[in-house]
A = this chain, B = another copy of it.
């Protein structure tokens, strides 16, 4: 079975691969590697990895041509994974595996071209090396950088700037005036720059609060399918450099998401929330507005953060969020409530008995 995602790539030898990342190779280092695979399903021509010695113990039957193992585990690996002709030793096997995958399964390449069905405004500026797919629309004064690939059905509004080497997957929508950096990947149906949710109520109706700001997506951001990032109401909404968003996330108007932030699927972020650099946010988390999450905070899946909160570094769980250990402790206490109730009942009986025997005149209760 061929890998439908990868263009054909000449096999690389284990020696070549190891050299590219400065790793040590043992065994038959001339053997050719064509693709990556998991330990369990690896076959001839593939490279697999184990993260640690424990995982290595389960690699006896691995059928890969090469196995990446932690530094110092090479000899042990040769003993356990006897069918594997070559071993690669490296500090972080999973990282090496990811880098090999980039080489062996390069991103899809498209010949620079503009599909005949694309509708492109005359004032738009498309780099010569860009790819513009079928049924793409590009509005007035928008610019598309070199090497950028825009797949079928994408709609780019007016005055949009897209940097170099980006990939916009099918049916993405970019509203007017948003800015996309370099090497940004937007998966299918991502929506950048829709109006934020703000209204002013009078006696008879809701009036729209202005949503005239914009959105800036910085370099090396990847955004999962169907995620929506709303435009600023007056200022801008920002997704910082190197940040990764999963599918179906909602980012409200005027949020400022820092660099190298990771957010899992279906999390919802109300307006004017700041998440500083290097935070990790689980899935289905809910943020009220005007929250600041400080750099290094980790928020568990399904947590809820009340409006206006400052979330300090540490690990947070629950609705509303508490330090994880506190959350677990309280949860355990709740689990013991039936027993506590029994204890309380028993104690009442004993106290009543004491009272009846020793204070015969105070027959209350």
Q: Which residues of A contact B (CB under 8 A)?
A: 3-6, 35-38, 41, 92, 94-95, 97-99, 101-102, 105, 108, 115, 117, 119, 133-135, 137, 151-153, 155, 157-159, 169-171, 173, 175-177, 187-189, 191, 194-195, 197, 199-202, 205-212, 214, 220, 222, 224-226, 228, 230-231, 234-235, 242, 244, 246-248, 250, 252, 260, 262, 264-266, 268, 270, 283-284, 286, 288, 301-302, 304, 319, 329-330, 333-338, 340-341, 343-344, 347-348, 350-351, 353-355, 357-359
Q: How far is the CB of A299 from chain B (nearest CB, A)?
A: 13
Question: By the criterion CB–CB under 8 Å, are A197 and B169 in contact?
Answer: no
Chain B residues closer than 8 Å to A169, beta-carbon distance: 173, 175, 194
**Of B133, B231, B301, B330, the contact of A286 (CB 8 Å cutoff):** B301
Chain B nearest CB: distance from A152 CB in Å?
A: 4
Report 16 cross-chain contacts, Cβ distance below 8 Å, ordered by A residue: A5-B177, A97-B200, A97-B209, A105-B212, A108-B176, A153-B153, A155-B171, A194-B225, A206-B242, A228-B247, A228-B248, A250-B266, A266-B266, A333-B338, A336-B341, A343-B348
Closest CB-CB distance, A93 to chain B, in whole Å? 10
Contacts of A333 in B (CB 8 A): 334, 337-338, 341
CA distance A257 to B166 in the complex (A): 33
Q: Tell me what chain A mostly uses at the interface: helix, strand, loop, or mixed.
A: loop
B244, A197: Cβ atoms closer than 8 Å:
yes
Asked if residues B197 and A264 are in contact (CB atoms below 8 Å), the reply is yes
Interchain CB contact (< 8 A) of A359 among B101, B230, B357: B357
Residue contact A235 to B283, C-beta cutoff 8 Å: no
Using Cβ atoms and an 8 Å threshold, which residues of chain B touch A286? Answer: 266, 283-284, 301-302
Question: What chain B residues lie within 8 Å of A207 (beta carbons)?
Answer: 95, 98-99, 102
Q: Which residues of B contact A152 (CB under 8 A)?
A: 119, 137, 155
Most chain B C-beta atoms within 10 Å of own C-beta, residue among A159, A199, A226: A226
Residue ID in chain B nearest A252 by CB atoms: B265
Closest 9 CB pairs of A and B: A4-B177, A101-B210, A119-B134, A155-B170, A137-B152, A333-B337, A173-B188, A194-B225, A4-B159
C-alpha gap A137/B153 in the complex (Å): 8
Given contacts A101-B210, A177-B5, A260-B205, contact A191 B188 (CB under 8 A): yes
Q: Which residues of B contact A205 (CB under 8 A)?
A: 220, 242, 260
Distance in angstroms from A6 CB to nearest chain B CB is 6
Q: Which residue of B lies closest to A280 (CB)?
A: B201
Chain B, Cβ-Cβ closest to A170? B155
B265/A197 in contact, CB under 8 A: yes
Contact B341 A335 (CB under 8 A): no
Contacts A5-B212, A284-B286, A337-B337 aside, 6 further interface pairs with beta carbons under 8 A come to A135-B137, A152-B155, A230-B247, A334-B334, A334-B337, A340-B340
Contact partner, A195, options B175, B187, B231, B330, Cβ 8 Å: B187
B189 & A171 in contact (Cβ 8 Å cutoff): yes
Residues of chain B within 8 A (CB-CB) of A358 are: 354, 357-358
